[in-house]
Structure 1
Amino acid sequence: MESSIYQAFTSAYIREAAARNIRRVARVAPFDVCFRSTNIVGTRVGPSVPFIDLVLQGQNAVWTITGSNSMVQVKNNVLCLGFLDGGLNPRTSIVIGGKQLEDNLLQFDLASSRLGFSSTLLGRQTTCANFNFTSTA
């Protein structure tokens, strides 16, 4: 993320985590925002941390990023927010990384210049590795 976007995003995330009594710890490179994981419960959709909602062109297009796609375990008992500061002059403002894409289905409609997305499949008790792409119809 471009630096000003990253700063606003991480500040809001840290506030939400603090409201849940999730304790911050020292950064672990390359990540700036890290937390002690001993009081973070694991769920079907990853660590129970604040969700991140990306609102894309209107309120009806919301991509929810859960703990499985936002947190990276970097050490025993330490989880870090898996987003990086891209600096002041990156080529693009925001790049969606591989961690955020794991176990999400994306559909690219090139003719209409549209993107469809599922948010995490873990909430549907499946993953991309075992998702049934065949149709029974």
Structure 2
Amino acid sequence: MVLLVIDSAKIICFNSSFVGSTHVGAAAPEIHLYLPGTNRMWKIFGANSMVRVGKHAMCLAFVDGGVNPKTSIVIGAYQLEDNLLQFDLAKSRLGFSLSLLARQTTCSNLTANVFNLN
């Protein structure tokens, strides 16, 4: 493991020779995000938590919020790739699917109304 510091941001990287591969991306531990007040959990797999940054390097695809973060967590576009999200603005709810990679497909292979997120 290598800890890079770029403009005071801490970035954790690994030698990709030691990181295996699965059908849901890099063989990294799953990240579980629990929504407050619910029993709902969103799993983030290696495809959405690790990014290849060179021929022999993979880094965590998250940014350290620092000592005084402005928000508790920020989910970026990289974490959202190949996940279906449903924003119910009227009820202030968010629905989400398991990574489509776990179903051996991607967003680009989907047709409308394939999954029910409720």
TM-score range, shorter chain: 0.7 to 0.9
Whole-angstrom distance in 2 between the partners of 1:61 and 1:45: 20
Of 95, 99, 112 in structure 2, the residue corresponding to residue 116 of structure 1 is: 95
User: What's the counterpart of residue 25 of structure 1?
Assistant: 2
Unpaired runs of 5+ in structure 1? 1-23
Whole-angstrom distance in 1 between the partners of 2:87 and 2:105: 21
> How many residues end up aligned between the 2 structures?
112
**3-state SS in 1 of match to 2:58:** strand
Deviation at 1:91, TM superposition (A): 3.8
Of 9, 27, 44 in structure 2, the residue corresponding to residue 65 of structure 1 is: 44
Runs in 1 of length 4+ with deviation above 2 angstroms? 25-31, 57-60, 86-93
* Native 8 Å contact 2:28 2:45 kept in 1: yes
Q: CA 1:79–1:108 in 2, change beyond 3 Å: closer, same or farther?
A: same
Normalised by the length of structure 2, the TM-score is 0.83
Percent sequence identity is 55
Unpaired runs of 5+ in structure 2? none
Deviation at 1:28, TM superposition (A): 7.0
Whole-angstrom distance in 2 between the partners of 1:68 and 1:31: 20
Q: Which protein has the bigger helix share?
A: 1
**3-state SS in 2 of match to 1:132:** coil
* Native 8 Å contact 1:28 1:74 kept in 2: no
